[in-house]
Amino acid sequence: MDQTAERNGKTVLVAVNDIFFYAKLRDALRGGEYTLERARTEEDVAAKADTAAALVINMNDDRLDAFRALEGLKHRSTQSPLPILAFANHEEVDTWRRAKELGATKVVSRNEFSARTRELVEEVIAASNQSSVIGT
């Protein structure tokens, strides 16, 4: 199966262990259009990324090294970029900068993530799909 077909399945890889943020994501994407795939470790992120339509990652997760997880995506078997929605504490400028450097499509504050979860996920997926069309 090619990557475009896999991404049409709308599996969102979720590297979010905080129950509050996971519940917000689950509730926002409820309705059958999206399937959530949990990634609890950096290794899970790398192993499951190739079949995901997008990755949502909490840069402040205390049980997952988000930077290492993003670095691990550089070694994916596919060359097509994975759309990544990262969220972090709004005061952590270095975290935001580093997440962008490591390939995050969009980095938002935790408050914005909570308020616009579905819209943000759809935005990064749509941006990736437009880039794929333009690049072909």
The reported pLDDT for the residue numbered 134 is 41
Torsion region of 103: left, alpha or beta (phi above 0 gives left; psi -120 to 50 gives alpha) = left
**Which of 54-76 are b and which e, b meaning 16 or more Cβ less than 10 Å from the residue's Cβ?**
bbbbbbbbeebebbebbebbeee
> Where do the structural domains in the chain lie, given as residue ranges?
3-135
Name the CATH topology of 3-135: Rossmann fold (3.40.50)
Whether the pTM exceeds 0.85: the reply is yes
pLDDT digits (tens, 9 = 90+) for 34-92: 999 999 999 999 999 988 999 999 999 999 999 999 999 987 766 678 999 999 999 99
Using 50, 70 and 90 to split pLDDT, how confident is the model at 4?
A: very low
Quick check: 5 pLDDT over 60? no
Quick check: 135 pLDDT over 80? no
